């Protein structure tokens, strides 16, 4: 079962790993391979929540706020 996505624009890679139920290192590997959408802000890597929801076939958590 997939954990609920937070109602924020982005998530950390560690948060994404928890949602996906994989180890943090596996999530970072997926980012580096391009399997997970990501943006870089300085040294920080962030995962856009809406893109992750789309990738997983889930409704965007912020969709109700529009």
Radius of gyration of the chain measured on its C-alpha atoms: 11
Q: pLDDT, tens digit, for every residue of 2-14?
A: 677 889 999 999 9
Burial of 4 (C-beta count, 10 Å sphere; 0-12/13-18/19+): exposed
Query: What are 45's strand-pairing partners?
Result: 40
pLDDT digits (tens, 9 = 90+) for 5-64: 889 999 999 999 999 999 999 999 999 999 999 999 999 999 999 999 999 898 877 655
pTM: 0.83
Separation in Å, CA 32 to CA 3, 40, 49, 52, 60: 23, 12, 17, 15, 24
């Amino acid at each position: 079962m997939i954990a609920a996505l937070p109602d924020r624009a982005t998530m950390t890679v560690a948060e994404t790993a928890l949602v996906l139920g994989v180890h943090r290192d596996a999530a970072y590997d997926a980012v580096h391979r391009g399997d997970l959408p990501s943006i870089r802000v300085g040294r920080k890597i962030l995962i856009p929540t809406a893109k992750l929801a789309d990738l997983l076939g889930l409704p965007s958590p912020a969709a109700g706020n529009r």
